[in-house]
Chains A and B, each alone.
Chain A
């Protein structure tokens, strides 16, 4: 079974509007972390935001926020006031604590295109 599922291969959003990128996960570990990365066309992987499984509040980082719904096992990324520079691939990833490993499991990504 897929541990991280990103069901939107591609999305469009109008500049200055908000957009939500979906991510669902599957784990039996009570302690885990969820990460979002951005990969622009230049290829580098940029860390955006983190949510811990025990965090009471949804994570926020500037224009990025996480809509964390633990019971639904979803951790959707919300980008507010989209900018042209937000056009990129976005990856959701999970790290499980049960084996003391620091491995990240990545989803397949969502390609976001911001329209002017």
Chain B
């Protein structure tokens, strides 16, 4: 079974550029989560969607960050303009409702470096 697919795996870009991270959740999952992982702050939830609708974006750090989920099989996280402090690993995860104990399944992450 295909897991959560993220692209790109690595992104290096210059400050001020627009960055777009992509995620394809597991088919049939109705929740999608975007996390950011840094040494200083650990794993932080940025935003999550239920049935393609953003539910909680309180973790999005600034207006420079935006996320969309146009359909059940695709989501993007965009940073515009990017800054060096945005350098981190960004994870997408998906899960399904229903049976208790359903874990969130994570993608392999995008390692983002802003120079």
Contact = CB atoms under 8 A, between A and B. Distances in A.
Interface of A: 33, 35, 37, 43-47, 50, 52, 91, 101-104, 106-109
Given A45-B106, A106-B43, A109-B42, 16 more contacts: A35-B104, A37-B106, A43-B108, A43-B111, A44-B109, A45-B93, A50-B101, A50-B103, A52-B100, A101-B55, A102-B95, A102-B104, A103-B45, A103-B48, A104-B33, A104-B104
B32 to A, nearest CB: 10
A45 B91 contact: yes
14 contacts: A35-B103, A35-B104, A37-B106, A43-B111, A44-B107, A46-B106, A47-B105, A101-B55, A101-B56, A103-B33, A103-B48, A104-B104, A106-B43, A109-B42
B112 interface: no
Given A52-B100, A91-B43, A44 B108 contact: yes
Number of chain B interface residues as a range: 20 to 34
A43 B103 contact: no
Contacts of B5: none
Nearest to A49: B103
Interface string B82-99: 000000010101010100
A109 B43 CA distance: 9
B100 A33 contact: yes
B56 A103 contact: yes
Contact of A104 (B45, B101, B108, B111): B45
B25 to A, nearest CB: 13
A104 B103 CA distance: 9
A106 B108 CA distance: 17
A103 B34 CA distance: 11
A43 B105 contact: no
Contacts of B101: 33, 50, 52
